[in-house]
């Protein structure tokens, strides 16, 4: 290892430790921190972020990067690590420490207010803090855009999905918008003519829902020696290396919402737990970006766990947990009935509970609104009305209140502008990867029908997880599936699952 490169690895090892500590503090704030700790926690998180920013932007970092680039003998992983180090450095040096601190404090305060605003369905009470966040995000985006030579929105996209650009998203979303509304209508009409699913009778106690969730997490391959499950206002996967914290939220009237949320976050966690251990403290050992991250959560939740194979396994597990006195042949708990429930296409209000066919329409709405807000074309005072109108046009329903409208997601209130498109890009990648995995190993579906995810993980580990950030997203997909990100496989999957085409 050459001197300059070794110094950089040591520097990024310190950064990884700080980021891991921040991840645990964020998890604690979302799950169990008493409300009175909010101000102190905001200060703690801001301080950690400023320290990390100052380490990364130290005056000698540019010199170390330049010298390491000229040193011979770096292998492919080290060269990729250098590329990712430089990318992170460019992002960091574009933004002064005072802006990093201000943005951290503003998002902490806004997130805490958002929780109360969402409970009360009162957008007006959080709007001033959201405006403060938006102003700071615009400032950071402009600074990064100048450094990267891209538009401000592309600079934000690049934070979550390296090298992603709005022009590509626009093209993908235009194709989906030309297909999905008519497709959704056909599916709804088809399902209306078919046998209607029976909704299992509740209530479903939270304690039992948690027990079932833990059991299915184990079946999927989650390692409870290196992670845990908790409750938060908005489900997420966080924490740090070898300490993965995932959360869900429960509804005693509907067990499926928490269950599918748990499986979604388990997909994220499996990716984090499968990243290359030898590079755990280095940028190249991190997840490549949120398109791939969302592909792993959606591969588990949508591709595998809404499949007939998985539901054949899950049906008796769910019946035994929630209706232990029901006969084994109770039609409400049959695999066929659960399959009808879990593939029911409906025009609904909440993104995280949306079915696979309408979900991209929810994402398109958020993409349009956040690009308009960042550009100054949409005032925050007009956000609730724009949300309602957009939902009516894209999804076909309108929210009756703010809680089911523009307050339902945490992302903007936490400063995560530029994240939403990765959900739909991830859904496309999930279909592509699952298709490739099944073609590579014909045992995968039969194993999932027995509650065994090991063959699937045996394919995902070397082809996706263990690659870390060695490759770009398209390069990884091309190596794993034979082509870069391609909507065709996703659209074919939707037609096959919902229309039998």
Share of the chain above pLDDT 90, in %: 96
Does a structural domain hold residue 178? no
As a whole number, mean pLDDT of residues 257-282 equals 96
In a domain, 130, yes or no: no
Distances (CA, A) of 408 to 24, 122, 167, 268: 24, 11, 27, 21
Residue 28 lies in a domain: yes
Query: In sequence order, which residues have a C-beta less than 8 Å from that of residue 474 and are 6 or more positions away?
Result: 484, 485
403-426 pLDDT, tens per residue?
999 999 999 999 999 999 999 999
For 432, residues 6+ apart whose C-beta sits below 8 A from its C-beta are 477, 481, 483, 485, 486, 489, 490
The answer on pLDDT for 1 being more than 80 is no
State the average pLDDT over residues 316-324: 95
In a domain, 318, yes or no: no
Last residue of a domain, one of 60, 93, 126: 93
Query: Known catalytic residue: 19?
Result: no
Q: Which residues of 425-460 are buried (b: 16+ CB within 10 A; e: fewer)?
A: bbbbbbbbbbbbbbeeeeebbebbbebbbebbbbbb
Write out pLDDT tens, residues 420-453: 999 999 999 999 999 999 999 999 999 999 999 9
What is the chain's mean pLDDT, rounded? 96
Domain count, the chain: 2
Cα–Cα separations (whole angstroms), residue 343 to 225, 303, 333, 499: 33, 11, 15, 11
Answer with the one of 234, 266, 298 that is the final residue of a domain.
Answer: 266
In a domain, 442, yes or no: no
Q: Which of 84, 111, 265, 301 is catalytic?
A: 265
pLDDT band at 472 (very low <50, low <70, confident <90, very high): very high
Q: Sorting pLDDT into bands at 50, 70 and 90, what band is 2? A: confident
Residue 412 counted as domain residue: no
CA distance 290 to 418: 10
- Report how far apart the first and last C-alpha atoms of the chain are (Å, whole number): 55
pLDDT (mean) for 155-162? 96
Query: 93, 112, 133: which is the final residue of a domain?
Result: 93
Residue 11 lies in a domain: yes
In a domain, 294, yes or no: no
Mean pLDDT over residues 65-71, rounded? 92
366, 367, 371, 376: CA torsion to nearest 10: -20
**Residues 168-217: tens digit of each pLDDT:** 999 999 999 999 999 999 999 999 999 999 999 989 999 999 999 999 99
Identify whether the C-beta of residue 432 lies closer than 8 Å to the C-beta of residue 489.
Answer: yes
Residue 501: pLDDT over 80? no
Rg (CA), the chain: 23
Query: Across the strands, what pairs with 238?
Result: 245
Q: Tell me the pLDDT band of 233, cut-offs 50, 70 and 90.
A: confident
Decide if pLDDT at 348 tops 80: yes
- The domain containing residue 258 runs over which residues? 223-266
């Amino acid at each position: 290892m050459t001197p300059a490169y070794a110094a950089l690895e040591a520097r990024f090892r310190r950064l990884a430790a700080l980021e891991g500590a921040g991840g645990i503090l964020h998890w604690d704030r979302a799950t169990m921190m008493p409300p009175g700790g909010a101000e102190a926690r905001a200060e703690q998180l801001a301080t950690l972020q400023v320290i990390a920013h100052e380490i990364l932007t130290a005056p000698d970092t540019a010199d170390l990067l330049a010298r390491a680039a000229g040193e011979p003998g770096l292998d492919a992983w080290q060269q990729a690590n250098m590329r990712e180090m430089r990318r992170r450095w460019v992002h960091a040096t574009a933004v002064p420490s005072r802006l990093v601190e201000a943005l951290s404090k503003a998002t902490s305060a806004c997130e805490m207010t958002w929780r109360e605003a969402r409970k009360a369905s009162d957008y007006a009470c959080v709007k001033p803090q959201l405006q403060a966040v938006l102003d700071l995000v615009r400032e950071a985006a402009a600074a990064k855009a100048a450094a990267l030579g891209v538009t401000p929105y592309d600079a934000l996209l690049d934070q979550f999905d390296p090298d992603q650009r709005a022009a590509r998203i626009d093209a993908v979303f235009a194709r989906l918008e030309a297909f999905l509304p008519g497709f959704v209508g056909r599916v709804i009409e088809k399902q209306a003519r078919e046998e209607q699913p029976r909704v299992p009778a509740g209530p479903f106690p939270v304690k039992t829902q948690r027990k079932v969730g833990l059991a299915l997490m184990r079946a999927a391959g989650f390692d409870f020696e290196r992670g845990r499950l908790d409750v938060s206002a908005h489900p997420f996967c966080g924490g740090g290396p070898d300490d993965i914290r995932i959360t869900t939220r429960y509804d005693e009237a509907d067990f499926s919402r928490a269950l599918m949320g748990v499986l979604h976050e388990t997909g994220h966690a499996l990716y984090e737990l499968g990243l290359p251990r030898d590079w755990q403290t280095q940028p190249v050992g991190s997840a490549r970006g949120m398109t791939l991250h969302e592909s792993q959560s959606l591969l588990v939740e949508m591709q595998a766990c809404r499949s007939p194979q998985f539901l054949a396994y899950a049906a008796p597990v769910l019946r035994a947990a929630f209706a232990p006195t029901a006969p084994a042949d109770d039609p409400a708990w049959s695999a066929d009935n659960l399959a009808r429930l879990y593939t029911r296409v409906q025009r609904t209000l909440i993104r995280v509970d949306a079915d696979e066919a309408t979900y991209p329409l929810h994402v398109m709405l958020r993409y349009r609104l956040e690009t308009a807000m960042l550009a100054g074309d949409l005032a925050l005072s007009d956000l609730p009305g724009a949300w309602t109108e957009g939902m009516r046009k894209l999804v076909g329903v309108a929210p009756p209140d703010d809680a089911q409208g523009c307050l339902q997601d945490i992302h903007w209130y936490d400063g995560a502008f530029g994240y939403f498109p990765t959900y739909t890009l991830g859904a496309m990648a999930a279909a592509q990867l699952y298709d490739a995995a099944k073609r590579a190993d014909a045992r995968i579906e039969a194993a999932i029908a027995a509650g065994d995810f090991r063959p699937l993980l045996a394919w995902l580990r070397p082809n996706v997880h263990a690659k870390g950030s060695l490759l770009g997203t398209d390069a990884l997909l091309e190596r794993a599936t034979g082509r870069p990100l391609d909507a065709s496989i996703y659209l074919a999957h939707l037609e096959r699952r919902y229309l039998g085409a």
